[in-house]
């Protein structure tokens, strides 16, 4: 990399690009350690994703995180990579920070913690922590070019990054990339981090939308197209027998397909062209239930089914099967067996996903092979760090992605 010919207007100890969850937290910690920190974002508002997360209350961490087994809650080529950072900055550490700022919070479902009042309280807390560390903020501010000088004639700028922005040229020995993933471009997501990685010849793992609703089309989807808004608890799974992944969560029918926590979770494991298996009645032996009903009831099959499933779904299902459009005592054993099998193993192949405009996260990113798991520093490019979602580490739904942002930020700040 060549050095820039312009004279830097200011020299910092660390420049952090991206004032989202990871960037703000890293800036605050580094500033409080005594470093002179500049935080740059191209958007006029910081932390837009925190603002819209968790329905406006930000699911900021998860108590169930098992730091000894990160593969349970994180996806990537090497989920073990996040173990060191996650064990040094835990959910309890972030909860302690919330408590220090008097931000009330509550647990909802499966260890998920939310702010009682608003995600804005968490943003205000992070900004207050940045102020306490004397962090300078530049936003909106466009980064035009980044160069690295391995050596300079007087050595004063050796091993430094020169960052050309629309507010002037700045320099630092530590450059932290916290520009996140590609999801929700309309609130400022860009591919900046990936492009910068390519500039320094760092390998990338292919990106794809994660935690995303799935779409279905064609005649096969017709019977379900009218079920939009309907939700029910299911067991959903994907993958071959050996590497099968399953979730017990709620599924939601949408205009274009399926969503809800069950589908968002499984979407991070789904491979295009492969099917999903859905048990619409987990924990119920439907064949036994239907066999008993056949002996004791004269209700229509759809009405019997509606005792266990939402009525609209029961109707839609039975409407495809003429042999079941009758009282249950007149239905054949064969037809009832087929019905029970179908509902406990509904196999459907998504056409695709709703893409980055609806995805909560981006799978893939900077390959963890080139990063230090202790510091997030690039092994082949001194002083260059990647933190948060830009790295090939993706958490489950439920506060895991923010915990990764906090923990990777803390590990990086400690190292600078
Ligand atoms: P983040 O996206 O937060 O920040 C990146 C920053 O970089 C942004 O401020 C952006 O403007 C800036 N930037 C981008 N390009 C730039 C450029 N070229 N120049 C300068 N700046 C640039 N997770 C969770 O754990 N619990 C939850 O409740 C939710 N809920 C949720 C809802 C929705 C709708 C979405 C989209 C996502 C979530 N998430 C979540 C995921 C979570 O928001 C996400 O994983 C973290 O915000 C990632 O933090 P980062 O700091 O890495 O990126």
- Tens of pLDDT, residue by residue over 68-127, are 888 899 999 999 999 999 999 999 999 999 999 999 999 998 999 999 999 999 999 999
Choose one of 24, 53, 371 to mutate for the ligand 1 pocket test, by most ligand atoms within 8 angstroms of C-beta.
Answer: 53
pLDDT > 70: percent of the chain: 97
Residue 269: which pLDDT band, with cuts at 50, 70 and 90?
Answer: very high
**Res 210: pLDDT:** 98
Query: How many other C-beta atoms are found inside a 10 Å radius of the C-beta of residue 347?
Result: 9
Count the alpha carbons within 13 Å of 29 in the hemisphere toward its beta carbon: 24
Instruction: Summarize pLDDT for 44-53 with one digit per residue, the tens.
Output: 999 999 999 9
Per residue in 304-316, pLDDT (tens digit) is 999 999 999 999 9
pLDDT at residue 6, rounded to an integer: 58
Ranges 58-72, 175-189, 212-226: which has the least confidence: 212-226
Q: Tell me, what's the pLDDT at 392?
A: 98
Examine the pLDDT at 153 and tell me if it is beyond 70.
no
308: left (phi > 0), else alpha (psi -120 to 50), else beta? alpha
Ligand 1 centre distance from Cα of residue 49 (Å): 5
Bridge partners (DSSP) of residue 17 are 40, 177
Please state the atom number of ligand 1 nearest to the C-alpha of residue 187.
11
With a cut of 80, say whether residue 151 has pLDDT above it: no
Residue ID of nearest Cα to ligand 1 atom 18: 192
Q: Which residue has the tokens 């910068």?
A: 196
For residues 353-365, one letter each, b for 16 or more C-beta atoms within 10 angstroms of the residue's C-beta and e for the rest, the string is: bbebebbbbbbbb
Distance 143 CA to ligand 1 centre (A): 18
Strands (E), 339-403: 346-348, 352-353, 361-366, 384-386, 394-395
Averaged pLDDT, 355-369: 97
Residue ranges lining ligand 1, Cβ < 6 Å: 17-23, 40-43, 46, 49, 52-54, 58-59, 143, 178-180, 183-184, 188, 190, 192, 360-361, 388-389, 399-402, 405
The answer to whether residues 62 and 73 touch, using CB atoms and an 8 Å cutoff, is: yes
Q: Which of 198-207, 213-222, 269-278, 366-375 has the lowest mean pLDDT?
A: 213-222
Ligand 1 atom closest to residue 401's alpha carbon, by position in its atom list: 25
- Average pLDDT score over the chain: 94
Query: What's the start-to-end Cα distance of the chain, in Å?
Result: 22
Q: Is the pLDDT of residue 158 over 80?
A: no
Nearest CA to ligand 1 atom 37: 360
Q: Are 402 and 54 in contact (CB under 8 A)?
A: no
Report which of 4, 2, 82 is spatially closest to residue 387, judged by C-alpha positions: 82
Task: Give me the sign of the Cα torsion angle 388, 390, 393, 395.
Answer: positive
Residue 92 exposed, middle or buried by CB count within 10 Å (0-12, 13-18, 19+): exposed
Q: Which residue has the higher pLDDT, 188 or 30?
A: 30
| Dihedral sign of CA atoms 2, 7, 9, 10 in order | positive
Structure tokens at 275: 């099917």
Evaluate if residue 5 carries a pLDDT over 60: no
User: How far, in Å, is the centroid of ligand 1 from the Cα of 36?
Assistant: 24
Place of tokens 């190292």: 415
Residue 155's contacts (CB-CB under 8 Å, 6 or more residues apart) are none
CB contact at 8 A, 234 and 227: no
Residue 259 tokens, joined: 């969503």
pLDDT for 7: 60
Which pLDDT score is estimated for 150?
80
* d(CA 221, ligand 1 centre) in Å: 33
Alpha-carbon torsion (376, 377, 380, 381), positive or negative? positive
pLDDT at position 4 is: 45
Percent of the chain with pLDDT strictly greater than 90? 88
Q: If we measure between CA atoms, which residue out of 190, 146, 178 comes closest to residue 165?
A: 146
ipTM: 0.99
**What is the CA(20)–ligand 1 centre distance, in A?**
6
Strand 257-259, strand 245-253: pairing? antiparallel
Bridge partners (DSSP) of residue 347 are: 277
Residue nearest to atom 29 of ligand 1 (CA): 53
Ligand 1 pocket mutation, candidates 23, 26, 49, 127, criterion most atoms within 8 A of CB: 49
Q: Choose which residue among 15, 17, 18 to substitute to test ligand 1 binding: the one with the highest number of ligand atoms within 8 A of its C-beta.
A: 18
């Amino acid at each position: 990399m060549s050095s820039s010919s312009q004279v830097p207007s200011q020299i910092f100890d660390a420049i952090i690009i991206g004032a989202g969850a990871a960037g703000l937290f890293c800036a605050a910690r580094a500033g409080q350690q005594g470093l002179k920190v500049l935080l740059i974002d191209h958007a006029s508002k910081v932390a837009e994703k925190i603002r819209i997360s968790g329905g406006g209350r930000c699911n900021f961490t998860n108590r169930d995180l098992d730091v000894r087994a990160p593969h349970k809650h994180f996806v990537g080529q090497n989920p073990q990579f996040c173990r060191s950072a996650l064990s040094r900055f835990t959910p309890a550490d972030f909860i302690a920070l919330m408590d220090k700022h008097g931000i009330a919070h509550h647990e909802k479902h499966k260890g998920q913690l939310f702010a009682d009042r608003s995600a804005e309280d968490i943003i205000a807390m992070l900004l207050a922590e940045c102020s306490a560390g004397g962090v300078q903020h530049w936003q909106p501010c466009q980064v035009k070019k980044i160069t690295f000088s391995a050596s300079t004639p007087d050595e004063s700028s050796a091993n430094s990054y020169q960052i050309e922005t629309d507010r002037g040229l700045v320099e630092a020995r530590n450059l932290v990339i916290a520009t996140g993933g590609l999801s929700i471009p309309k609130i400022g997501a860009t591919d900046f981090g990936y492009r910068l990685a390519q500039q320094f010849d760092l390998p990338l793992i292919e990106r794809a939308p994660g935690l995303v609703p799935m779409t279905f089309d064609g005649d096969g989807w017709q019977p379900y197209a009218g079920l939009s808004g309907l939700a029910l608890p299911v067991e959903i799974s994907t993958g071959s027998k050996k590497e099968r992944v399953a979730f017990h969560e709620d599924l939601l029918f949408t205009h274009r397909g399926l969503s809800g926590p069950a589908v968002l979770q499984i979407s991070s494991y789904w491979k295009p062209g492969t099917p999903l298996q859905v048990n619409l009645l987990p924990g119920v032996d439907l064949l036994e239930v239907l066999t008993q009903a056949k002996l004791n009831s004269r209700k229509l099959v759809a009405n019997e089914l509606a005792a266990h499933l939402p009525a609209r779904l029961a109707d839609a299902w039975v409407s495809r099967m003429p042999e079941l459009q009758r009282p249950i005592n007149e239905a054949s054993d064969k037809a009832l067996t087929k019905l029970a099998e179908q509902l406990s193993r509904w196999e459907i192949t998504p056409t695709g996903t709703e893409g980055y405009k609806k995805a909560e996260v981006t799978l893939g990113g900077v390959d963890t092979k080139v990063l230090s798991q202790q510091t997030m520093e690039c092994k082949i490019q001194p002083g260059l760090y990647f933190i948060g979602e830009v790295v090939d580490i993706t958490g489950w739904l439920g506060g895991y992605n923010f915990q990764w942002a906090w923990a990777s930020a803390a590990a990086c700040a400690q190292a600078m």
